[in-house]
Structure 1
Amino acid sequence: MTRSRIELGDVTPHNIKQLKKLNTVVFPVSYNEKFYKDVLEVGELAKLAYYNDIVVGAVCCRVDTSENSRRLYIMTLGCLFPYRRLGVGTTMLEHVLNHVEKDGNYDNIYLHVQVNNTSAIDFYKKFGFEIHETKKHYYKRIEPADAHVLQKNLRPAITNGIASPGEKNHHDKHSEKIIDKNNVDKHHNDKHA
């Protein structure tokens, strides 16, 4: 398999129907007209994935500027079942990660995943996402209704040199991690002594 078979293309008013059809097939939840109207406005943050010129997947994100931080929210990232495990999802997620890295102005990337969707959870973990929290009854009409919030931190949440509420010790934790890495053996021995 060569990766050159997979290409990403813009979502436009001409192909938005393909995105709607794809989302209907791939996801157990339905998206309203506002979702599709917004998708047309986000540029590089919404892409259709083509495999040998056939639309097989799509990724749609939005910028979320709540809680004194700038975050990227992955609203949808999905691929038709027969085309899974061919690198389509990886290509889409790498596009999003590269976009965020080039921009350099995001605190984190996050998304919701149904708690029983282990393949999606494993997929995102490979890219450095971690389960941040679990929201009960997140989904309205599907079971299980609970969702994990998966998050990949890009930088400590510090605003104007002051840690934002709820993130007070984030910077300190980061420093501790670095110290821990340097003293892994010492800590390991202490625990078992």
Structure 2
Amino acid sequence: MVVPKAVYRPTIVYRPIRPSDLEVLKQIHADLFPIRYESEFFLNVVSGNGIVSWAAVDSSRPDGENDELIGFVTTRIVVAKDSEIQDMLGYDLRSDQTLVYILTLGVIEPYRNLGIATSLIQEVIKYASGLDTCRAVYLHVIAYNEPAILFYKKMSFRCLRRLQDFYYIRGRHYDSFLFVYYVNGGRSPCSPLEVMVAVVAYLRSLFSSLVCRLWKSEDRKASRWSKCKETSSLLINQNKRIVSAENAGCQCV
């Protein structure tokens, strides 16, 4: 009898990226991304100099490397008014409002499809939501990266814009998609369709209000006419009684 091999279930732990992760971080970036990052970028990541990051490690690895990076996400905070997406954040931006920009996100191949990337993005969203001044999380995805595009759509990010020739890699230009996830009441300006829908809803409400007023006006007129008829009828009856009394008096005399 063949005993099926047990499925390895890693125990994933999330923590900040540390200086000890520098070399592994560089290697994973080189393996996963077509863009080459400067040494300064990695130094800023591991030292937390203007960059907020999360690392994923497998604490149950049997090889003793239970604190080695197997996934990561790096972000930085930007001022909303100085960002490239300020026109997508409504018209009430204050000087203190911020955004969280996702710089890089990656998981090494043996650990994919285990929900690690999802958990890392959830950490970013949770962090951004905890910043009172933050209005959105945003990022760029190269146009040919279909798995990443589907992933961010699944995570409820909105694809708001296609940027022509955003990337220049190895002598070629590539388009990029801009994805945004709004937090803390952040929102995009109304699209033309949304404006039209709002106008139609307003006109419908206005029309209903006018109809109600007309009905009320007609009801008041009908009520006044009914009271007038009652008053006229009462006056006629009173006059009849007066005339009858006068006639009766004449007859009596």
User: If the length of structure 1 is used for normalisation, what is the TM-score?
Assistant: 0.74
Compute the displacement of 1:38 (Å): 2.7
Among 75, 86, 102, which residue is 1:61 paired with? Answer: 75
Instruction: Give the conservation status (yes or no) of the 8 Å contact 2:100–2:136.
Output: yes
Relative to 1, partners in 2 of residues 1:114 and 1:7: Cα closer, same or farther, differing over 3 Å?
A: same
The code of the aligned residue for 1:23 comes to H
Unaligned runs of 5+ in 2: 1-6, 61-65, 87-92, 202-253
Are 2:34 and 1:28 aligned?
A: yes
Say which one has the larger Rg: 2
Determine if the alignment matches structure 1 residue 117 to structure 2 residue 145: yes
Residue 132 of structure 2 is aligned to residue 104 of structure 1 = yes
Corresponding position of 1:126: 154
Amino acid at match of 1:136: Q
Letter of the 1:101 partner, please give it: S
The answer as to 2:19 corresponding to 1:13 is yes
Q: SS of 1:151's equivalent?
A: strand
More helix by share: 2
Q: Which amino acid aligns with 1:57?
A: G
Change (3 A) 1:30 1:84: same
State percent identity of aligned pairs: 25
Q: Secondary structure at 2:152's aligned position in 1?
A: helix
C-alpha displacement at 1:147, in angstroms? 0.8
CA drift at 1:119: 0.9
Q: Secondary structure at the match of 1:97?
A: helix
Gaps of at least 5 residues in structure 1 are 158-166, 181-193
Kindly provide the CA deviation profile for residues 121-166 of structure 1, in whole angstroms up to 9, marking residues without a partner as x: 1111122101111111111115661111111122236xxxxxxxxx
Question: Relative to 1, partners in 2 of residues 1:169 and 1:131: Cα closer, same or farther, differing over 3 Å?
Answer: closer
Pairing 1:82–2:110 present:
yes
Q: Aligned-pair distance for 1:105?
A: 2.3
**CA distance in structure 1 between the aligned counterparts of 2:143 and 2:155, rounded to whole angstroms:** 18
Counterpart of 2:90 in structure 1 is none
Task: State whether residues 128 and 136 of structure 2, in contact with CA within 8 Å, keep that contact through their aligned partners in structure 1.
Answer: no
- The amino acid across from 1:10 in the alignment is P
**Distance between the aligned counterparts of 1:80 and 1:4, measured in 2?**
14
Tell me which residue corresponds to 1:150. Answer: 179
Q: What TM-score does the superposition give when structure 2 sets the normalisation length? A: 0.58
Letter in 1 for 2:186: P
* Cα contact 1:10–1:44 (8 A) shared by 2: no
The answer (yes or no) to whether the contact 1:42–1:62 under 8 Å persists in 2 is no
Alpha-carbon distance, 1:169 to partner: 4.5
User: What does residue 57 of structure 2 align with?
Assistant: 50
Residue type matched to 2:149 in 1?
Answer: I
CA offset at residue 89 of structure 1? Answer: 0.4
- CA distance 1:3–1:75, change in 2 (3 Å): farther
Matched, 1:138 2:163: no
Q: Secondary structure at the match of 1:139?
A: strand
For residues 91 and 153 of structure 1, the distance between their equivalents in structure 2, rounded to whole angstroms, comes to 18
* Farther off after superposition, 62-71 or 81-90: 62-71
Which structure is richer in relative contact order (CA contacts within 8 A, separation 6 or more)?
1
